[in-house]
Copies of this chain bind each other. A is one copy, B any other.
Amino acid sequence: MAGCPLITTFGIVELVPDNCIQDFCVANLNSSISVNGFPCKPDAEVTSHDFFFDGFSKEGNTTNVFGSRVTPGNVLTFPGLNTLGISMNRVDFAPGGLNPPHSHPRASETGVVIQGKLLVGFITTGNVYHSKVLTAGQMFVVPKGLVHFQLNVGEGKAHAFTAFNSHLPGAAVLPLNLFASAPAIPNGVLTKAFQVEDDVINAIKSKFGS
């Protein structure tokens, strides 16, 4: 960027290049400087391609212990979302697949089922569980930061699109947070928290390779 030209709000002879308008800030994921969010690509390098994303065309690979897969359309995969406060995910489910209990530290979530039959549930901070079985065209909401999950309760595959009011909502996936962190949470914390013996904790940890 070679400095910002003076921009008057209108005036036909003064149409300026698309710099310094700050309508957007396409993420430069490889900047030498790290900030909250990402620095912007230089204006001269921004093109229309930066505002479109092709990652949702293919079904996600659900061959894993949970039988589900999140394909994120967030700032890390779709840099044009940087600073705009919004993102989407595609979530695919094998029959019986589970998007395990997790919370998003930085966003509320909505979603719409496109295919299949999903049990969608969340738990309030008052420990009330709200849930419903949804089919194609039905929408749900999960308030910011609450623990929630989706389970494929239909016969076949399922998928949904979800939306978040953050360019990078993050996810604290509870089984992994608690039993597969590096380094591991001491067993003494987990046995007291869940009122079980060491062997139960060790068994769960082993399932996640810890």
Contact = CB atoms under 8 A, between A and B. Distances in A.
Sorting the interface of chain A by its residue count into under 10, 10 to 19, 20 to 34 or 35 or more gives 35 or more
Interface in A132-158: 132, 134-147, 149, 151
Contacts of A192: 66-67, 96, 98, 100, 151
A186 B131 CA distance: 10
Interface in A62-110: 64-67, 69-73, 76-78, 80-90, 96, 98, 100-110
B10 A29 contact: no
22 contacts: A8-B71, A10-B70, A17-B128, A22-B36, A23-B124, A25-B36, A51-B130, A51-B132, A56-B138, A58-B137, A81-B110, A84-B165, A88-B112, A101-B178, A105-B145, A123-B185, A127-B176, A127-B181, A128-B182, A147-B172, A165-B165, A195-B208
Given A9-B173, A57-B135, A127-B173, 17 more contacts: A1-B32, A8-B70, A8-B71, A9-B70, A9-B89, A12-B176, A21-B125, A53-B141, A54-B137, A80-B141, A119-B186, A119-B189, A123-B178, A129-B183, A151-B189, A195-B207, A196-B200
